[in-house]
Amino acid sequence: MNKRVPFVTFRTRVRDETVEGPNPYRWENKTTEDYFSGKRTILFSLPGAFTPTCSTQQLPDFEKLYDEFVKHGFESVYCLSVNDAFVMNAWGKALGLKKVKLIADGSGEFTRKMGMLVAKDNLGFGLRSWRYAALIDDGVVEQWFVEDGLSDNCETDPYGVSSPQNILATLKWLGAP
C-alpha cells in the first residue's frame, strides 16, 4: 500500500457573489495537496455523473453514511469522476449534496496517474475511472477498495467492494476508532 496520491491540479468552479450575471462562478485551481494533505480522507471514484449506479446508490449512500466516516476519524469524503466541473456541480446540485465533496477530473489526469483510467467506449463514454475507493492519510493511500475486473470496455459494472457499507464494515473489522 502506502502509495502517495499523484500531484495534480484540478480546475474547479467556485460560487462567487462578486461575479455578476446568471452564472456567478469563477475558475479556481485546487491541487491534490489542497484535498488530501494533513488530514484523513476517503476518496471514491466512479464512471460518471448522472449514471444509474453512481446516482442512485454509490454517491447517495456515501452522503447518508458520511457521519459514520467522521466517527472513524475521517475529515472529508470526496467523490471523483472523469467529468468536467460544470457537470459535477450540476450533479451535486441535482442530488442535493451537503456533505460529500465532488472533484472533477475533467482530463482524467489524476485517474490515469492512479492507474484507474479505463476505456468505456463500449458504452459511448470514452475514457473514465474504474470504480474504486481509497482511505487516504496525509496524501498516502492506506487501503484500496477496487472493484474486480479492472479492464477496458468491461461488459459489467461491478459494485460492492467500493461501497460505503463495505468500507465501514472493513473499518469496524480492523477496529478503527
* 3-state percent breakdown (helix, strand, coil) of the chain, nearest 5: 30, 30, 40
Can 79 be counted among the known catalytic residues?
A: no
Measured CA to CA, the distance from residue 103 to residue 82 in angstroms comes to 9
Kindly name the residue from 8, 54, 100, 134 that is annotated as catalytic: 54
Q: Which class for 103: exposed (0-12), middle (13-18), buried (19 or more C-beta within 10 A)? A: buried
Measured CA to CA, the distance from residue 106 to residue 80 in angstroms comes to 10
Unique residue bearing C-alpha cell 467506449 = 121
The catalytic site residues sit at: 54
